Structures are given as C-alpha cells and as structure tokens.
Amino acid sequence: MTLSPALWLLVFVVSAVAIVWFGTRLARSADEIAERAGLSRLFVGMILVAGATSLPEIVTDVSASLAGAPDLAVGDLFGSSMANMAILAVVDLLDRRRVWPRVEIGHARVASVAIALTAFAVIGILVSPNVRIGWIGVDTLAIAAAYVFAVAWMRRSPDSRFLDGQVLPVPIGWGDRQERGLRPAVTRFSLSAVGILVSAPFLAYSAREIATATGVGETFVGTTLLALATSLPEMIAAVAAVRIGAQDLAVGNLFGSNCFNMAALLFADLAYGPGPLLGAVHLGQAVAGVSAVLLMSLALAAIVHGTETRVARLEPDAIFLLLVYLGGLGAVWMVGG
C-alpha cells in the first residue's frame, strides 16, 4: 500500500487512539473480573492489570515481527518499559500526598525481577549466540521461563505488611457496577481484546512506514512513538489508581508491565520467522534496554528511600527520573538503527 507520510501518520494516530480506548476498557474489565473473583489487589496489579494493559504491546509487537520489523517490536518493549517509569514519575508529581513514601516496600521484589529480565534481554542482544530451538531463540524462552518462575515465587511470598486483611480500592469507581456477575465483565474484556487485535496491525505497519519515510530508524520510532502509544493504557490506569488512593495498584501495574514486556519478547520471537529475534535487532536496542534498567533502578531507589523531599512542590526524584528518560531517548536517537 502506497500512502504519503502524512497519511501514514494519520493511520498511526487513529489506530493509537483506538488502542488506547480499547486498552483502557480492557484494564477496567480485568480489574472488575479480579474484584468479583476475590483476587488479591497486589497480585491483580502485578499480573492481571499489568497483563491487560500490556496486551496492546504484545499484539503490536507480534504484528511488527510478522511484518519483518524486529527493531520496531523490541524497541516498543524497551521503550514501553522506559515510558512506564516516566509515568511513575508523572503520577508522583501529580499526587499531592506523594507516591514514593506510601507504597509497600514489597514492590522492590517486582522491580528487581523487571530489572533482571531486562538485563537478560540486553545480554541476549549483545552476545547474540544464535542458539535456537526451531526458529525461536533460547534467550527469549529463558526470559519467559524466568518470568513464570518469578510470578510463582512472588505469589508464594508473604503478604504485604500494609495489605494484611485489607482490599485496595479499584480505580475510577470500577467496583460500583450494577451487574454483579462475571459474565458482563468477561464480555467487555473479550470485546476490548478483539478491538486491540484489529487495531494493532495498523499501528505497527504505519510505524514501520513512518520510520522508512522519515529515515529516523525503527529503533527510535519503536522506542518513542510506538512505545508511548502502547503505554497510554498503563498511564491512564496508573493515574486513576493514584487518584483514589490505590498507589500500590498503580506501582504494581507499572513494574508488573515491565516484567510482562520482557516475557512478551517470546511472542514477538514466535512471530518472527527468520529468528531468533534478539539476534536480528540493531545493537542500538541495547542502549534502550540499559536505559530501561537505569530508570527502574532509580525508581526502585526512590521507593526504598521513600521520604518526603519536595522542593517548591516538586519531587526531585521524579524530576530526575524524567530527565533520565529524556536522556535515554536522546541516546537511542544518537545510536540510530
């Protein structure tokens, strides 16, 4: 299909808006299902809501891999992990009560897993041993296996000291629905997932055409435009959770999404026929991966520190996190790819 760059940009914007709309409703439905099924809010934020808000990334990156654009797929996942930490900084700035001091220290476990999985992916790009099972790299298989193991480990860990006997509230009044059965929520979840499945290929293909037409490079387009578009559901869910005092749900969603992003490399690898995926991408992807690790490390340090340090109503930790995010994007731009 031959379109002008302006028309491809329009296709990108329209499909991005559709994914945000469906992704937000997907996250709402997922949390509603969890609430009615009586699941833990900490587990919900880390697994169910994180998985639901990450579905746009998965479908988009599978579409990018099928289109022969591995750098778009991997760049989107690293860029989304970077964007999630920028979102964490933004919600901390927006919340007058502060996010850092109010969340459970147990989020350090989830953050540590996200950092380790991302570092593992960076090693897969730099070392690139090209060891495969069929066309699938053993590195993405190992990352997905480590994610499953980590989820099982955290599921068996003791409950948070702040959550014992408590149930965290759900964002945007999701719990005050009149329908009390699971079927309406499951139906909404399924319809939203179908909407994402339809919209994501247009987003991935238009991003590839924009990269080709502008000469910017798939790595940078994936890390910026594509990552920001597919991360908007996480941002909406996180802001909504913080506004009603569910800071743990917001933070668990963002760190949990970063864990899920790395596990999603396996889906993109499965869809990339020439494979393995990590061996096929530009080495500049390692810069995006290291930037994601750096941002998560700084966010983890801020949560562990957890003290009130506002200066002129601004939080230095959050401002520094945003500056590092912009610096990471600049580094990705410089390496190209």
In whole numbers, what is the pLDDT of the chain averaged over residues? 79
Q: Which residues contact 164 (CB under 8 A, 6 or more apart)?
A: none
Which residue did the predictor score with more confidence, 239 or 71? 71
User: What are the pLDDT digits (tens) for 38-63?
Assistant: 665 556 556 666 666 677 778 888 98
User: What are the pLDDT digits (tens) for 139-166?
Assistant: 999 999 999 898 877 766 554 433 433 3
pLDDT at 307 over 70: no
pLDDT at 284 over 50: yes
User: What are the pLDDT digits (tens) for 95-121?
Assistant: 766 666 666 677 788 889 999 999 999
Residue-level pLDDT at 153:
78
Cβ atoms of 144 and 265 within 8 Å: the answer is yes
- 3-state class of 311 per DSSP? strand
pLDDT grade for 275, boundaries at 50, 70 and 90: confident
Q: pLDDT above 90 covers what percent of the chain?
A: 25
pLDDT at 233 over 70: yes
Q: Which domains does the chain have, with CATH numbers?
A: 5-335 (1.20.1420.30)
- 3-state class of 133 per DSSP? strand
Cα distance between residue 139 and residue 142, in whole Å: 5
Calculate Rg over the CA atoms of the chain. Answer: 19
Q: Give the dihedral of Cα atoms 39, 42, 43, 47; nearest 10 deg.
A: 120
Cα distance between residue 36 and residue 194, in whole Å: 22
Q: Which residue has the tokens 């901390």?
A: 92
Residue-level pLDDT at 177:
44
Residue-level pLDDT at 212:
77
- For residue 150 the two structure tokens come to 């980590």
**37 phi and psi angles, rounded to 5 deg:** -90, -5
Residue-level pLDDT at 197:
76
- For residue 65 the two structure tokens come to 């891999």
Determine which helix (DSSP H) or strand (DSSP E) holds 136, and give its type and residue range: strand 136-137
Residue-level pLDDT at 89:
87
Cα distance between residue 23 and residue 97, in whole Å: 28
Average pLDDT, integer, range 126-137: 81
Residue-level pLDDT at 100:
63
End-to-end CA distance of the chain: 24
The answer to whether the Cα torsion of 70, 75, 81, 84 is positive or negative is negative
